[in-house]
Structure 1
Amino acid sequence: MNARWQQAVVFFNTLATIAWLAWQWPRSPLTALAGVAAALALFGLVLGLQFATMLRVNRSDPVPRPSWGQLVTAWWAEARLALAVFGWRQPFRHSAVPDWLPPLAPNQRAARRGVVLVHGFLCNRGFWLPWMAALRERGHAFVAVTLEPAFGSIDDYAATIDAAVRRVQEATGMAPVVVGHSMGGLAARAWLRSLAAGSATARVHRVITLGTPHGGTWAGRFSSSVNGQQMALGGAWVQQLQQGEPAARAALFTCWYSNCDNIVFPAGTAMLAGADNRLVQGVAHMQMAFHPLVMRACLEEMGRGDLG
């Protein structure tokens, strides 16, 4: 499971920090604390370089230019979220909240539509912890998948998504909404491509993507993993995916994108021609999945078509 290597990274960083403090503190507490601060500053600098590159690449994109205030706010939100997601939720809390499929009486349908949550690159189901609480509070049955192998082909994730959709549909009596963050949106499209012709609308009610590189992303060219290379900007895989989709397929999609997405850029690559494309300004890549405005709009969209 991909949580294990994330646990290993957290343990290594923790042990390295303890070792540094134990070595330097007796000599100079100031030097010891400065070393920890320097490590955090390096993390912030790397994240800042992502935003700087995004700004440069987006110059040729029609998306509105973000203000400096938006950039700083997005950078700070993404830094805090990265520490929470990769330092706690995914390594140690990925199985803390089980899928929720409340039982129904025979021949009964649920009052609310179910949801399948599909995470992005380098993530697992722990990414969705805040969503799980919100969905259960509103009565939406849900399944959150973990896509494995972590660095495999996006096409190979179709079976995992299909099994999750079947579980939710059997539990609710309705086709679910599929929500995909980043690569998860591409995995949802690959799953739809694997279905028999004409069966998509019977299997899914709506697909919502959050910062998904539908046309690939500039940074994909530097990846050494199979799924990372598949997300290269204008690459062969994303082009073949687009060419293999029926013209009406995009009408099933709501695609959120941002002018401050530090991973998926140019910003327009997160749009899908013919879909309901929605711009949220000043929001970073992971932040988009938990932004109050985005979450509220997604939950409202999930409620459309419920029985209750």
Structure 2
Amino acid sequence: MKSLMTRALLALALAVTTLVGLPSPARAGTWTPSSNPVLFVHGWNSSASTWNTMIGRFQADGWPSSHLRAFSYDTSRSNATTAQVVAQEVDKLLAATGASKVDIVTHSMGALSSRYYLKYLASSGKVDRWVSLGGPNHGTSSANTCSSTACVEMRVGSTFLADLNAGDETPGAFGYGTWRSPCDGVINPVDSTVLAGATNTRTACVFHTNLQNDATIYGQVRDFVNS
């Protein structure tokens, strides 16, 4: 009996030692070979550099730099025109990475050109997830003070938005997610960002220009695009 107990204890010790030696499972939210590359679309009067903090966080979580693409564009032009640029950037990212789909993360007005792309230009197999951080999806009164084509399109009740929101607000086989802050300060009303059919998230008190830099929002966006 004593010999049997000794062998059993030895076997248990060996099993524990083997388990301790195993690598721990990957942390939730980190990059895997099945993770999509990410295209970032900035907002009005901004540039690709607005994404530096978020891109750095994606890289820290394992995304290769080649899988993270931000670009600058002329924010005075129609969002329909910029949608053509989005289409080109998606194709460039797919070609550079060999991936079959991308995720698109947008800030502010970047939501409008990318939504136009999804509704009218995107092939169904090119995009998996789409994110809007403080997007004026139903317009903002802040656009009443500027007069460029893109600003007029951002006004509440604009012809552009009426067309973009007609019918299904989240068309196609894409996962849509929006984030809005009660302290946005630029998107008025704040709930303009919300889209029917999307996963709509209300953040803590974060100003509009900090939405893409907030660590908590980053973690939520990362997990959304990587789920």
TM-score, with structure 2 as normaliser: 0.78
2:178 & 2:100 partners in 1: Cα distance? 22
**Structure 1 position 291 matched with structure 2 position 214:** yes
Determine the structure 1 residue equivalent to 2:10: none
1:186 equivalent among 112, 128, 131: 112
Matches within 5 A, 1:1-308: 110-137=33-60, 138-140=62-64, 141-148=67-74, 150-170=75-95, 171-195=97-121, 199-200=123-124, 202-243=125-166, 245=168, 248-249=171-172, 252-304=175-227
More helix by share: 1
Distance change >3 Å, CA 250–CA 236, structure 1 → 2: farther
Q: Letter of the 1:217 partner, please give it.
A: T
SS at match of 1:289: coil
1:248 & 1:204 partners in 2: Cα distance?
12
For 1:145, the aligned partner's letter is F
Per the TM alignment, residue 193 of structure 1 is displaced from its structure 2 partner at its CA by 2.6
Amino acid at match of 2:71: V
- Structure 1 residue runs of 5 or longer lacking an equivalent are 1-108
Structure 1 CA distance, aligned partners of 2:101 and 2:56? 21
Counterpart CA distance in 1 for 2:88 and 2:168 is: 21
Question: Once the two structures are superposed, what CA deviation does each residue of 1:278-304 show, in whole Å capped at 9, x if it has no partner?
Answer: 000311101111111100111122222
AA at the equivalent of 2:129: R
Distance between the aligned counterparts of 2:98 and 2:53, measured in 1?
Answer: 22
Which residue number in structure 2 is paired with residue 55 of structure 1? none
Query: Any idea what SS the aligned residue of 1:243 has?
Result: coil
**1: distance between equivalents of 2:33 and 2:204?**
35
Measured in 2, the distance between the counterparts of 1:273 and 1:250 equals 15
CA contact (8 A) 1:251 1:274 kept: no
CA-to-partner distance for each residue in 1:181-213, whole Å, 9 max, x for gaps? 0001111101113326xx33x110000000001
Q: TM-score, normalised by structure 1?
A: 0.58
- How far apart are residue 136 of structure 1 and its match? 2.5
The answer to which of 214-223 and 247-256 deviates more is 247-256
> Judging changes above 3 Å, is the alpha-carbon distance between structure 1 residues 144 and 187 closer, same or farther for their aligned structure 2 residues?
same
CA distance in 2, matches of 1:211, 1:160: 21
| Aligned-pair Cα RMSD in Å | 2.0
Contact 2:170 / 2:196 at 8 angstroms: preserved in 1? no
Q: Which portions of structure 1, spanning 4 or more consecutive aligned residues, are displaced by more than 3 angstroms?
A: 244-251
Structure 2: segments with no counterpart, 5+ residues: 1-31
Alpha carbons of structure 1 residues 164 and 251: separation in structure 2 relative to 1, 3 Å: closer
Distance 1:250 1:214 in 2: 19
Equivalent pair of 1:216/1:234 in contact (CA under 8 Å) = yes
- For the residue of structure 2 that corresponds to 1:219, the secondary structure is helix
Mapped contact 1:255–1:276 kept (Cα < 8 A): yes
3-state SS of paired residue (1:290): coil
Amino acid at match of 2:77: G
The structure with the largest alpha-carbon Rg is 2
More strand by share: 2
Q: How many positions carry a matched residue from both structures?
A: 192
1:272 aligned counterpart, secondary structure: coil
8 Å CA contact 2:178–2:193 kept in 1: the answer is yes
Q: Is the 8 Å Cα contact of residues 125 and 146 (structure 1) preserved in structure 2?
A: yes
**% same residue:** 24
